[in-house]
């Protein structure tokens, strides 16, 4: 049935007979997605009434492969910080002063090392307080995804995976929050050796957040950690550089159910359900400012070279996607 329109007979008949869709559709076209959606939140806030809807269908997700229709119902948020540790008032000669002052690069390393316990859990005070627990059904659906430990090993090239032992790698990147060091800088970093005892050390540190964590509270949690753990031998500073909220749509909500049925009618199988590790501004802000939940799906394949040279669309999959959307409209209960 390559390239064949396979929307259900009932759906096609209904359109022919009534000349209309069985639901009202509002189009919301977001033109700022690739530049960080700077004015989007303000627009949604001002036009919340206009944007009222039972749910939003957002096609900005993809498929795992051409045979696996996929619904994305959750996105992680972000809290991004710059941590600086200050020691002596200038770089010192390590021979003349080494041993008497707390090396700020070492102090920073000690603070970073303490941010996870031995099981890979984050130790910032209250960090997990608001994490919404995934239920058995959700975790069972995550287990259906083909992103096995072997997949992650191959994708990353690490000698062994790492992370919270009570969660699968796919769960660790979707339903669990993380804390990552994105950058480190201190002292002499060129070729060869220089016996400097650096005046300061810097780390870029960011957390991927899950519902219902709040980036502002995570900032406060980091400040609390620093106050509790930073020794008196150094000074420190934390800059709150960037944040993004989390988003989640209930898996049994009207939108997810309609989209799942639409996909199933075309592919002949139940779709996969996943949460994404990254963030999409419009999903977060529609939920936050207009109370509209999004269902994400899409018909791009991993091999489509999205945003890259030779970007392509697989036409048979694209046409199946059109059919799935038609069926979705007729599956809204």
Site for a second copy in 73-102 (CB under 8 A): 76, 78, 80, 82, 87-90, 92-102
Contacts of 45 (CB under 8 A, 6+ apart): 289
Q: Does 114 bind a second copy (CB under 8 A)?
A: yes
Q: Does 176 bind a second copy (CB under 8 A)?
A: yes
**Residue 180 near residue 122, CB atoms below 8 Å:** no
Q: Does 116 bind a second copy (CB under 8 A)?
A: yes
Q: Does 196 bind a second copy (CB under 8 A)?
A: yes
Q: Does 173 bind a second copy (CB under 8 A)?
A: yes
Taking the C-alpha atoms of residue 318 and residue 320, their distance in angstroms, rounded to an integer, is: 5
Q: Does 211 bind a second copy (CB under 8 A)?
A: no
Q: Does 62 bind a second copy (CB under 8 A)?
A: no
Q: Is 173 exposed, middle or buried (0-12, 13-18, 19+ CB in 10 A)?
A: buried
Which residue among 37, 103, 246, 331 contacts a second copy (CB under 8 A)?
Answer: 103
Q: Nearest approach, Cβ of 57 to a second copy (angstroms)?
A: 22
Which residue among 132, 139, 204, 217 contacts a second copy (CB under 8 A)?
Answer: 204
Of 115 and 326, which CB lies nearer to a second copy in the complex structure? Answer: 115
Run of H or E including 57: strand 56-58
Taking the C-alpha atoms of residue 330 and residue 261, their distance in angstroms, rounded to an integer, is: 9
Cα→Cα distances 48→24, 27, 41, 44, 53, Å: 17, 14, 10, 5, 10
Q: Does 201 bind a second copy (CB under 8 A)?
A: yes
**Residue 202 near residue 84, CB atoms below 8 Å:** yes
Q: Does 165 bind a second copy (CB under 8 A)?
A: no
Please tell me the count of residues contacting a second copy according to CB under 8 A.
80
Q: Nearest approach, Cβ of 202 to a second copy (angstroms)?
A: 7
């Amino acid at each position: 049935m390559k390239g064949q329109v396979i929307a259900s007979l009932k759906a096609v008949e209904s359109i022919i007979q009534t000349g209309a869709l069985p639901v009202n559709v509002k189009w919301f076209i977001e033109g700022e997605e690739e530049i960080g959606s700077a004015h989007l939140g303000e627009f949604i806030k001002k036009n919340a009434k206009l944007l009222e809807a039972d749910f939003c269908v957002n096609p900005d997700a993809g498929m795992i492969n051409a045979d696996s229709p996929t619904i994305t119902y959750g996105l992680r948020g972000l809290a991004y910080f710059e941590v600086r540790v200050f020691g002596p008032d200038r770089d010192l000669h390590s021979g003349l002063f080494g041993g008497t002052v707390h090396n700020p690069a070492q102090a920073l390393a000690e603070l970073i090392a303490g941010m996870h316990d031995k099981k890979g859990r984050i130790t910032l005070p209250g960090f997990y307080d608001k994490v919404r627990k995934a239920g058995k059904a959700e975790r069972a659906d995550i287990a259906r995804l083909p992103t096995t430990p072997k997949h992650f090993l191959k994708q990353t090239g690490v000698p062994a995976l790492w992370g919270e032992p009570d969660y699968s790698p796919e769960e660790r990147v979707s339903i669990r929050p993380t804390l990552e060091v994105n950058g480190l800088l201190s002292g002499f970093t060129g070729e060869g050796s220089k016996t400097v005892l650096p005046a300061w050390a810097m780390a870029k540190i960011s957390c991927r957040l899950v519902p219902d964590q709040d980036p502002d509270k995570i900032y406060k949690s980091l400040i609390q950690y620093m106050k509790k753990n930073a020794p008196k031998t150094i000074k420190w500073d934390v800059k709150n550089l960037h944040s993004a909220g989390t988003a989640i749509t209930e898996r049994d909500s009207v939108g997810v159910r309609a989209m799942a049925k639409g996909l199933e009618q075309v592919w002949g199988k139940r779709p996969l359900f996943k949460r994404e590790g990254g963030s999409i501004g419009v999903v977060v802000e529609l939920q936050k400012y207009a109370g509209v939940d999004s269902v994400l799906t899409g018909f791009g394949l991993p091999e489509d070279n999205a945003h890259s040279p030779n970007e392509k669309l697989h036409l048979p999959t694209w046409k199946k996607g059109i059919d799935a959307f038609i069926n979705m409209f007729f599956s809204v209960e």
